[in-house]
């Protein structure tokens, strides 16, 4: 087996830590492993692949497998965090060349356009997409997939999405995106926790006319249902280091839109929250500059706050998109609307959540406002589900 240069030391360590929490369901075959369903489509074609360190096929990287299989692979497109998955959130990553295969790596995060050049787009016939998403509207891998699909439609290219399970695919929760707040962390009018795989989202985006991609093919997983508790075999990004963090992520990511830290620059990002001025807390942590979080919020300042590492997985999942943590921190800070930044609306996707928190509403009262929208969305998504609920 060829060894690809993609997984650096940091990501390898993170992957080992995540694997220690469990293993992926033994009966599941991800789309990339079902080669009989897609490899023949690449014969005689110039192929590009949207992939990163999560694109594994039976322990081998997809790029290595394609090269070994004689596929004419002309380019690798990399999403947020780069091809190796080590870059900070939103960090600019330049084009490069894979050191092992010599194939050019085209970074969508090299500038503010998030597009490939005309020369790059004309150099291939088929785009193969294989990324491990975590099932949140503001997680950028599926957004990158949709942007690449739209680019391919402009050039008449076929797109093959190799599907993977959603580790948060057990439920649907949170407000739908108000398209006034459409951004790089929110592209579709879907709930925060959409309960769909990337393949299902691709089908929905095309079926509802949100994205044009007439040449789309989705290769589904086998042995997976939406009730499956799927443990990721590798950390999807530098700061989602454990399965527990992935379960808390729908709720704790909202702290990115506040003055607080959610633990970037510690050993437990997305599993804590705090601030140097947070009142009534006995737990503290200090963010430091580390790989994957070079300049974390509140770096080198002791933050007082709340440790969520002891919250059971079942409780984190049943809590869904839980506003209790944000409401708790808002009250403890005591600074009113200065607690929020403009990024909060982009993450939560609507303006009424902030208003209701400021007005003193409870998490349950706010949740009631999106309940009917979630039910309507669940009906809509059934047309596109590839797996049993």
Q: Encode pLDDT of 171-193 as tens digits.
A: 999 999 999 999 999 999 999 99
Say if CB 48 and CB 128 are below 8 A apart.
Answer: yes
Angstrom CA distances, 169 to 137, 195, 231, 302, stand at 12, 4, 12, 35
Band (276; pLDDT cuts 50, 70, 90):
very high
Angstrom CA distances, 375 to 197, 275, 342, 381, stand at 18, 36, 28, 10
What average pLDDT score do residues 324-353 get?
Answer: 98
Q: Does the structure show a pLDDT above 80 at 86? A: no
102-159 confidence digits (pLDDT tens)? 899 888 876 666 789 999 999 999 999 999 999 999 998 999 999 999 999 999 999 9
Band (21; pLDDT cuts 50, 70, 90):
very low
Say if CB 313 and CB 244 are below 8 A apart.
Answer: yes
Dump the DSSP string for 279-310. Answer: -S--EEE----BTTBSS-TTTTS-EEEEE-TT
Query: How many CB atoms are closer than 10 A to CB 284?
Result: 14
Within 13 Å of residue 189, how many CA atoms lie on the same side as its CB?
A: 10
Q: Does the structure show a pLDDT above 70 at 198? A: yes
- Between β-strands 72-78 and 272-275, what pairing exists: parallel, antiparallel or unpaired? unpaired
What average pLDDT score do residues 312-319 get?
Answer: 97
Q: Does the structure show a pLDDT above 90 at 12? A: no
Residue (of 123, 98, 155) closest to 45 by Cα position: 123
**Token pair in block for residue 159:** 């797109």
Residue (of 253, 290, 300) closest to 273 by Cα position: 253
Mean residue pLDDT across the chain: 90
Handedness of CA 273, 275, 276, 278 (dihedral sign): negative
Helix, strand, coil % (nearest 5) of the chain? 35, 15, 50
Query: How many CB atoms are closer than 10 A to CB 20?
Result: 10
Residue (of 164, 187, 182) closest to 386 by Cα position: 164
30-77 confidence digits (pLDDT tens)? 999 999 999 999 999 999 999 988 999 999 999 999 999 999 999 999
Residue (of 162, 235, 171, 239) closest to 202 by Cα position: 162
Q: How far apart are CA 88 and CA 102, in angstroms?
A: 25
- Give the chain's domains with CATH numbers: 28-219 (3.40.50.12170), 243-375 (3.90.1150)
On the 0-12 / 13-18 / 19+ scale of CB atoms within 10 A, 216 is buried
């Amino acid at each position: 087996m060829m060894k690809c240069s993609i997984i650096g030391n940091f990501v390898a360590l993170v992957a080992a830590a995540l694997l220690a929490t469990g293993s992926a369901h033994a009966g599941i075959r991800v789309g990339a492993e079902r080669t009989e369903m897609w490899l023949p489509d690449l014969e005689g074609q110039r192929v590009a692949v949207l992939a990163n360190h999560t694109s594994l096929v039976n322990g081998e990287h997809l790029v290595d497998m394609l090269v070994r299989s004689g596929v004419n692979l002309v380019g690798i497109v990399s999403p947020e965090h780069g091809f190796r998955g080590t870059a900070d959130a939103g960090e600019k990553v330049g084009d490069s060349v894979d050191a092992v295969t010599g194939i050019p790596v085209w970074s969508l995060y090299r500038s503010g356009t998030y597009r490939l050049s005309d020369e790059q787009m004309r150099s291939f016939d088929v785009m193969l997409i294989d990324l491990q998403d975590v099932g949140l509207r503001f997680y950028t891998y599926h957004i990158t997939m949709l942007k690449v699909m739209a680019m391919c439609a402009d050039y008449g290219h076929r797109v093959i999405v190799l599907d993977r399970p959603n580790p948060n695919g057990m439920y649907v929760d949170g407000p739908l995106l108000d398209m006034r707040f459409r951004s790089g962390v929110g592209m579709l009018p879907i709930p925060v926790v959409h309960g769909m795989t990337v393949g299902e989202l691709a089908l929905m985006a095309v079926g509802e006319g949100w994205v044009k991609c007439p040449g789309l093919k989705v290769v589904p997983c086998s042995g997976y249902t939406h009730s499956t508790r799927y443990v990721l075999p590798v950390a999807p990004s530098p700061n989602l280091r454990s399965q527990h963090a992935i379960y808390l992520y729908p709720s704790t990511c909202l702290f990115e839109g506040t003055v607080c830290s959610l633990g970037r620059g510690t050993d437990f990002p997305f599993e804590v929250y705090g601030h140097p001025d947070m009142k009534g807390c006995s737990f503290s942590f200090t963010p430091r500059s580390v790989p994957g979080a070079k300049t974390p919020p509140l770096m080198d300042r002791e933050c007082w706050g709340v440790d969520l590492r002891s919250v059971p997985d079942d409780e984190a999942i049943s809590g869904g998109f839980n506003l209790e943590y944000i409401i708790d921190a808002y009250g403890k800070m005591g600074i009113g609307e200065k607690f929020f930044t403009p990024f909060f609306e982009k993450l939560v996707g609507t303006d009424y959540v902030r208003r209701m928190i400021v007005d003193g509403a409870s998490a349950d009262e706010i949740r009631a406002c999106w309940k009917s929208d979630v039910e309507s969305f669940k009906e809509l998504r059934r047309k596109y589900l590839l797996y049993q609920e």
